[in-house]
Amino acid sequence: MSEKSLLVGPAALLVWGSVDKTQVAEAALNAWWTNEHLPERLSIPGFQRARRYICQNDPQQSTKYLTFYEVSKLDVLTSEAYMDKLNNPTAGTKQHIPTLATMQRAACRLVYSETRSELRSIRSGGGCALAMSVVSLPPDDQAGNKLPAELSPAFKEMESDRSVMALHLFREDVAATAPGSQSQSYIYGNLQQNQRVETVKWIVLVEFSQPGGSQTALRPIIDILSRLTDERVAAFDMYDFMCSAE
């Protein structure tokens, strides 16, 4: 881990997507997710921290959620202990996972992480808001490998906005993502799987100290991601913090 990072692990599992408000009892879903599901995942060796966020700008008829698990190493996400949980879902998981059928998940390595200078002495932390952009590239596309060098000066420009806390870049590991997505938990819930195995997700996260974040502060990164190709113009979803557990 870089001394510049607020993160507590060099790898992560990201799960995100929408639920239909008209079809889902969200109070019950969130009670299960926060009070049962997160503690269950954190009982698995190697799971360091879990955070939940809710999207502020999703269409009125749906709610978009993001769950961000930080792990001690990528192998945790294919470990026997984790796969045992996935293949033996609890009654609550069997009840609620089918409502999350539009969710996506990605097991990722941390490629780059930087925190604004005055926060670097903090051991770990997290923002009140989290901006997320996902770009899919061919595995051999070198544009992704060049992103850290481009994001570093962009982050320095973003620091002029006092609400910007940190920036993280993750690269999906398709081999680590696949076993979990094919487990009993997610097959049961018909979770969306990446059908285009020839692509790899690159995920950019920006942490903000204020709810709602700042779309204006994201402009330097949007410009970088948009240059990858005209077909991969970046868009950020802004999520507000719900809860955290360690």
Segment 60-107, tens digit of pLDDT = 778 899 999 999 999 999 999 999 998 898 999 888 888 887 888 999
User: What is the C-alpha separation between 230 and 227, in angstroms, rounded?
Assistant: 7
Residue 199 pLDDT > 90: no
**Range 163-176 average pLDDT:** 95
51-65, 97-111, 156-170, 232-246 — which one is most confidently predicted on average? 156-170
**Range 214-221 average pLDDT:** 94
Note whether residue 44 is domain-resident: yes
User: What is the C-alpha separation between 228 and 145, in angstroms, rounded?
Assistant: 12
Q: Which domain holds residue 75?
A: 11-245
Position 118 scores a pLDDT of: 83
Residue 232 pLDDT > 90: no
Q: What is the pTM of this model?
A: 0.91
Question: What is the band of 15 on the pLDDT scale with cuts at 50, 70, 90?
Answer: very high
Position 45 scores a pLDDT of: 98
Note whether residue 228 is domain-resident: yes
CATH classification of the domain holding 142: 3.30.70.100
Note whether residue 6 is domain-resident: no
Note whether residue 185 is domain-resident: yes
Position 6 scores a pLDDT of: 83
Note whether residue 2 is domain-resident: no
**Range 15-25 average pLDDT:** 88
Output the 3-class SS for 111-162: EEEEECHHHCCCCCCCCCEEEEEEEEECCCCCCHHHHHHHHHHHHHHHCCCC
Note whether residue 5 is domain-resident: no
Overall number of domains in the chain: 1
